[in-house]
Amino acid sequence: MRVGVIGLGIMGAPMARNLLRAGHAVVAYSRTRARVDALVADGATPADSPAAVARAVDAVITMLPDTPDVEAVIGGPNGVLEGARPGLLAIDMSTISPEAARALAARAAEVQVALLDAPVSGGEQGAIGGTLSIMVGGDASAFERAQPIFTALGRAATYMGGPGQGQMTKLVNQVVGATTLAAVAEGAVLAERAGLDPAAWVRAVSGGAASSWMLAEQAPRMQRRDFAPGFMVRLQQKDLRLAIAAAGRLGVALPVTALVHQLFTAVEAQGGSERGTQALVLALEALAGRR
C-alpha cells in the first residue's frame, strides 16, 4: 500500500521504517525537516504538508503528541481531510481524548474518509521491533482494510468497537501500566534500603505472581539510573489527565491513578518532564530521604 506517516518522533520514525521493510511505499511529513530527510534516506518520499500526504496515499497514519496536534493535522487548514479523496483510510495512532476521536471520525465520514483511532502500547522498543499492541476503534470494515498496516507495526491489533473505543482502551492500558510502574518503583526503593541484591530481587519477584513487563524492564533501568525516554513523563502525564477526565465523566473513581499522577508531577517539578517514565522512582526516593 501507499502509506503516509505524519509525525516522526520516538514512535513514528521506527514505525515508518517497519512499513518500508514490509514493502509499503511511505510518504512522510514532519514539522522537523531533518526527521523527514532521515527517513527519505531509508527510501521514503517527502511531502510538504499533511494535505499533500493525503493526496499521495491510500492510507495515512498520524502519530502525534496530543489532542490539539491531531485535530490540527487531520482537520485543520492544509490538513489530511483537506487533501483527502473519498475512500482514504486514516489511522490515528496517537493517544488522544476519546471524545475528540469520535468528533474527528464524524468529520471524516462527511468527506467519505474512514478514520480509525488506533493507539498503541509497547513504547519505543515495540515501535522498533514491530511488536506493538494496537487498540482500534472505528468502522469494522476499515479495520479489515488496515490489517496489512497493522501487521507491519504490531504483534496484535484488537478491534474494540466504534469510534473512540480504541482511545478508551488505551486509557485503561495507561491506568494499569502507570499504577504497576508505581508499585515497581516502591519495591525498588524498599529493596535498595533493605540492601537486597538488585538483580537477585528482580529475578526472585519475577518468578511469582508479581511478575510484569514493568518489573522486568523498568526496575533494572531504575537501578542503573537510566532515565532515557522510551516514553516521556510529560506524555504519560497527558495520558493520565485524559484517563482521569474520562473516568470523571463516567462516574468512576481512580484514586491510585490520581496518586501516581501527583508523583509524576513531583518528577516534573524536579525537571524530569523529558525523562522516561521510570524516573517515577525519583519521587519515591525523595520521600524516602534519598538525595
- Taking the C-alpha atoms of residue 142 and residue 149, their distance in angstroms, rounded to an integer, is 12
The residue behind cell 491510500 is 58
Name the H helices within the chain.
12-21, 33-40, 50-56, 67-75, 80-83, 98-110, 123-129, 140-145, 147-153, 165-194, 198-206, 213-223, 233-250, 255-269, 280-287
Amino acid at 163: P
129-152 in b/e form (b: 16+ CB < 10 A) is ebebbbbbbbbeebbebbeebbeb
Which 3 state secondary structure label does DSSP give 102? Answer: helix
Distances in Å between the Cα of 199 and the Cα atoms of 147, 192, 255 are 40, 11, 31
Cell numbers at 99, concatenated:
471524545
Whole-angstrom distance, CA of residue 290 vs CA of residue 76: 48
DSSP string, 38-83: HHHTTT-EE-SSHHHHHHH-SEEEE--SSHHHHHHHHHSTT-HHHH
238 catalytic? Reply is no
The CB density around residue 271, as the number of other CB atoms within 10 Å, is: 8
Active-site residue identified among 35, 170, 221, 261: 170
Residues annotated as part of the active site:
170
